[in-house]
Structure 1
Amino acid sequence: MNRNPAKAAAAAAVLALAGAAMSGCSAAAEPEGPVQLTFWHGYTEADGDVLQKIVDDFNASQDEVQIKTEVKTWAVIDDTLLPALSADEGPDIVAMPGERMPVYADRGAFADLGDWYSSDDGGTSALNEQAVDMVTVDGAPYGVPTGFVPLSVFYNKTLFAAAGITDAPTTWDEWLDAAKKLTVDADGDGTPEQYGLALPDHDTVANGLWPSLFYGAGGDLVEDAKTAVVDSEENREALDYWVSAIRDDKISPTGLDGIGADELFSSGKAAMHVGGPWMASIAKDNGIDYGIAALPAGPADQAASAIGVAMGVTAQADDAKVEGAEAFFSYFLGKDVATEWSLGSGWPPLRTDIAADAVSDNPTVVALTDIAPTSRALLPGVVNSVDVLDAIDDLTQRAVAGEDIDGLLSTAQDAVQSALK
């Protein structure tokens, strides 16, 4: 995904050096005592506490593998993983946003987990298939999902009641109709004091909002991780529909970014917002009585891009460490532990055999579990996903600004195809 060819070449060189440094690991003498693993992750809130408990419980459950966690920000992990691996000082297990894993897998930083996935004790057969697609590159799985949640509609129940709306919308037309009713321009100056929907046109949640709208019209961005399909009638239909809603019906401000959308909703100036589970705490902190609903169905489909996090075994791990990491992954995906992780982290269960009533102690998780079947992995297996999403970001921002949609789709098509090469 590097835009600088020299930087990309340097990164490749780093991995080559790392491979040379690691080549002798398996020949080293077997250490005495339990296998020691380091685990980098970026979970810093309540999710970090429950993950640490799970690691501690795993360590206490057996005497063959011991894991030590190191908490870093996601940005620091992204910046330091390759240099650390090149110095043979990287982690054995690392968690990162799911869309970043194909980047590192392509550069040789992660071990192929195909054999573990095909084993009987992996616990992977019950995993959400789309979550597995998120960590799969060229048919090989390089990670284990730790979180996978579809974008969803958060709505202000108080504003809904004031507008006489009793149910969350389930189709695009219902969604737009509700957004119009919830848009209030009391002084008639053309700038609403309250918007029906905070619909950002750039820098959206993991850039997955507009792809979700494209899915609803039957469109997509990429096929088989290799072919751009941006310039389609389906995507044109989605853009026409929602650009008109923003520009003509004024249901949302133009030029809005993701942070601005969060602020509109949290201040009570937007009745609906599309986001992830963190919006529950933001709404609660701001006194918003909120509900959660699935992204309404478009004319062709109901699907929403899912945000995910995954953990993998780095290439510096020797055979014993790989086996130890896989033992932890199996433990983590066990039904009881997976339920514990879901309740504590706020993410819906990764296993499809965990029902909503098993997580009833957390209403947010219940709601997200109910809508989990709408999840769709965003650009699975696409190494240069950031470049692809940058092109879509440019497309949607300029479309909402009023530029010609046909020309923008053609430009985005070329940019995405170039990124895929």
Structure 2
Amino acid sequence: MFKKLLLAATASLAMTLPAWADTTLKLTEVITSPERTETLKQIVKTFEDANPGVKVEITSLPWGQAFEKFATMVSAGDTPDVVEMPDRWISLYANNGMLENLEPYLAKWDHTKDLNDKTLQMGRYINNTAYGLPYGFYLRAMFYNKKLFKQAGIDNPPKTIDEFVESAKKISAIPGKFGYCLRGGPGGLNGWMMMGATAAGNDTFFKPDGTSTMADPAWVKGLSVFVDLYKNGYVPKDSVNWGFNEIVTGFYSGTCAMLDQDPDALIAVADKMSKDDYDVAPMPKGPAGKSFPTLGYASWSMFAASENKDLAWKLIAALDSPEGNIAWNKRTGALPIYKAAEQDPFYADPKFKGWFDELRDPNVVPLVMPFHLEEWAFFDSSIALKTTQQALLGQLAPDQLASQWAEYLTKAQQAYLAKKK
């Protein structure tokens, strides 16, 4: 099926283009894995075949160090033509004039009308201007191991935070097993933000004067959940350093029974586990009867310094064409950007039910981080990583963690508001 998609992508790209003799485009991938890179290379190959004389040079950065490595490249003037732009970085680069406005290209693109509303909304998140074209969305839901739940005497996945903690406690009583796969290493901030907002019952990050809400008692209570799970031994001790690969491995190996993750985790889980041994449910709700699973996305963006902008757009259009995009998303697990793709048999599979149940539930509010802040990328990649690990290890109390976050983010938001006056 995948080969057919690639062949279809090749056919769709066979359009009349000017000849770019010996032209090299630089493409940087930052959310990297061997399978994603291989898929990207195959789709890019179809673009090169359809454009004789064009070579696409792919640079793949390891996600754990991608923010620092990419910033170093940019500061040295080594900018790509096209970059895989994470949601948390886009404000930093767009607001500093480094990304090309894609609106003129979208206005003429045949497929703009076929994009779903969320794609255009998030693509225009910064200054209502498309500084990137999203390729897919990542919404959190709860994977759970049905065999371990049964062994612990639990009939259903947790529907509330209290049930989540209680389930983790019961499963951790089984020798060698843990309740939850905690992502304490790089990329772990989403879980903390999701739990804080769910405990608070709203997704308001700032008060009207720009003061962060994160030091509020309800947020502190939510942040305390992960600290208590770690302290009580309901998560593996070494999970303080776990990233994406470790938490997914911890789940499919049966080490821990619950994992909150995006659909991209399905790739490995479905490959390693019997479909009868696990399922995916909506995220647990808080005291207000609501949950706030994080909604993330990544885009293809063009650097303003590109000397081949029209050709760089052709590459973005190829990557995000219906054929190229569905081939990519079927390998990355991202939710679709096209209206029609939502009806694709791939997404009709019952394993996606947990995510689509969330999207249909009015009491489930996808949580979008304050990506408008230029400081958010550093906060996510550095400050949050250091302080959450300190909290897990007992070096920071949850209220101290929350106060440090609130102080940093208040300064950032108030500076942002001042610029808008």
CA drift at 1:208: 0.9
The 1:241/1:361 distance shift into structure 2, 3 A limit, reads closer
Distance 1:33 1:67 in 2: 12
Match of 1:211 in 2: 193
**1:410 pairs with 2:403:** yes
**1:234 pairs with 2:227:** no
Match of 2:242 in 1: 259
CA RMSD, aligned part only? Answer: 4.1
Q: Which amino acid aligns with 1:415?
A: Y
> Alignment partner for residue 401 of structure 1, among 377, 394, 397?
394
**1:33 pairs with 2:38:** no
The 1:326/1:117 distance shift into structure 2, 3 A limit, reads same
The 1:238/1:131 distance shift into structure 2, 3 A limit, reads farther
Q: Deviations over 1:41-90 (max 9, x none)?
A: 25553333333333333455577x94624132246875665676677764
Identity among equivalent positions (%) equals 20
**1:346 pairs with 2:333:** yes
> Which moves more between the two structures, 205-214 or 98-107?
98-107
CA drift at 1:284: 5.9
Q: Which amino acid aligns with 1:140?
A: T
Distance 1:128 1:118 in 2: 15
Within 5 Å, which residues of 2 pair with 1:105-116?
105-116=94-105
What are the ranges of 5 or more consecutive residues in structure 1 without an aligned counterpart?
A: 1-30, 187-192
The 1:255/1:82 distance shift into structure 2, 3 A limit, reads closer
Q: Helix, strand or coil: the match of 1:141?
A: coil
Q: Helix, strand or coil: the match of 1:342?
A: helix
CA drift at 1:197: 1.9
CA drift at 1:158: 1.9
Match of 1:194 in 2: 177
**1:329 pairs with 2:322:** no
Distance 2:357 2:370 in 1: 23
CA drift at 1:235: 0.7
Whether the aligned pair in 1 keeps the contact of 2:135 and 2:336 (CA below 8 Å) is no
Within 5 Å, which residues of 2 pair with 1:58-97?
58-60=47-49, 66=54, 68-74=56-62, 78=67, 90-97=79-86
Q: Which amino acid aligns with 2:19?
A: G
CA drift at 1:199: 3.5
Q: Deviations over 1:227-284 (max 9, x none)?
A: 5321224313423555555556x53357842518626435423211223455445546
The 1:123/1:403 distance shift into structure 2, 3 A limit, reads same
Match of 1:294 in 2: 282
Distance 2:47 2:348 in 1: 24
Match of 2:373 in 1: 382
Distance 1:54 1:241 in 2: 42
Q: Helix, strand or coil: the match of 1:312?
A: strand
What are the ranges of 5 or more consecutive residues in structure 2 without an aligned counterpart?
A: 1-16, 416-421
Q: Helix, strand or coil: the match of 1:271?
A: strand
Match of 1:57 in 2: 46
Distance 2:231 2:113 in 1: 46
Whether the aligned pair in 1 keeps the contact of 2:85 and 2:298 (CA below 8 Å) is yes
Whether the aligned pair in 1 keeps the contact of 2:133 and 2:299 (CA below 8 Å) is yes
Q: Deviations over 1:338-366 (max 9, x none)?
A: 32222233322233542254315977667
Whether the aligned pair in 2 keeps the contact of 1:220 and 1:230 (CA below 8 Å) is no
Distance 1:233 1:45 in 2: 42
Q: Which amino acid aligns with 1:154?
A: F
Match of 1:181 in 2: 170
Q: Deviations over 1:151-189 (max 9, x none)?
A: 332222221232343433333233233323322166xxx
CA drift at 1:379: 2.8
Distance 1:67 1:297 in 2: 49
Q: Helix, strand or coil: the match of 1:103?
A: helix
TM-score under structure 2 length normalisation:
0.72
Distance 1:403 1:86 in 2: 34
TM-score under structure 1 length normalisation:
0.72
